[in-house]
Amino acid sequence: EVQLLESGGGLVQPGGSLRLSCAATGFSFNNYAMGWVRQAPGKGLEWVASITGDVDVTGYADSVKGRFTISRDDSKNTLYLQMNNLRAGDTARYYCAKDTGAGISGWFQTWGRGTLVTVSS
């Protein structure tokens, strides 16, 4: 069974940093692109970033470009999101999602349950 388990969320002050992790099981992790999608309280879904499954090409939403970095460790079957210079507007539940192939398409057929990030002083 394909499973994604996010961790690393919490309360952080504006300007601070946080690293999210997503542990993947049940599939050949290195063969698939992965992504992060967030959802602010009471709001809709917003794509954050994705990374390909082969040559580690990345893509970012304009709202996080230059502040967030997506990466992966295929030896650990783990996806990461390094978040720097956090703002109140980054407060959201962050979901890890598995893309359908090695390339980035947003075709997320499997999602984790998410981890909550709160940016507040």
Give me the residues that bind another protein (CB under 8 A), please. 35, 37, 44-47, 50, 59, 61-62, 95, 104-114
Q: Minimum distance between the CB of residue 32 and another protein, rounded to whole angstroms?
A: 14
Q: Minimum distance between the CB of residue 44 and another protein, rounded to whole angstroms?
A: 4
Tokens of 42: 């009471």
Q: Minimum distance between the CB of residue 14 and another protein, rounded to whole angstroms?
A: 26
Q: Which are the contacts of 63, defined by CB distance < 8 A and separation ≥ 6? A: 46, 89
CA of residue 113 relative to chain centroid, distance: 12
Which of residues 37 and 119 has its CB atom nearest to another protein in the complex?
A: 37
Task: Compute the chain's Rg from CA coordinates.
Answer: 13
Which of residues 11 and 45 has its CB atom nearest to another protein in the complex?
A: 45
